[in-house]
């Protein structure tokens, strides 16, 4: 970051890069939900640390509390009623 232009560029880019890095960090989310199932399943990364594992459990709890599976089922039922298989 030598020179004024480099320092200015660093100031403009660092915050968005940090946000992007956090967004892509699997430890922040714990894992990915698997869809098309009867119960919520969160697939955690194989090298998950304690923070990632805790966040995977938190994500599963949120799926249950927010009734995500029931909402998905209701949406699929609505699609089936509107467009039955021929």
Q: Specify the DSSP element, H or E, that contains 20.
A: helix 3-24
Q: Is the pLDDT reported for residue 86 higher than 70?
A: no
pLDDT digits (tens, 9 = 90+) for 64-76: 999 988 888 888 8
7-28 per-position pLDDT tens digit: 787 778 888 888 877 777 878 8
Secondary structure letter of residue 39 according to DSSP: S
Q: Is the pTM of this model over 0.85?
A: no
Q: What is the mean pLDDT of the chain?
A: 83
Query: In this structure, what are the phi and psi dihedrals at residue 84, rounded to the nearest 5 degrees?
Result: -65, 150
Answer yes or no: is pLDDT of 37 > 70.
no
The residue extents of the domains of the chain are: 3-82
What is the C-alpha to C-alpha distance for residues 86 and 83, in angstroms, rounded to an integer?
9
């Amino acid at each position: 970051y030598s020179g004024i232009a480099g320092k200015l560029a660093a100031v403009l880019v660092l915050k968005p890069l940090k946000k992007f890095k956090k967004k892509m960090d699997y430890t922040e989310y714990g894992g990915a939900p698997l869809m098309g199932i009867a119960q919520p399943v969160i697939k955690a990364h194989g090298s998950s640390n304690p923070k990632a594992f805790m966040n995977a459990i938190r994500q599963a709890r949120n799926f249950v509390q927010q009734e995500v599976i029931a909402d998905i089922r209701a949406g699929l039922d609505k699609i089936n009623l509107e467009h039955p298989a021929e």
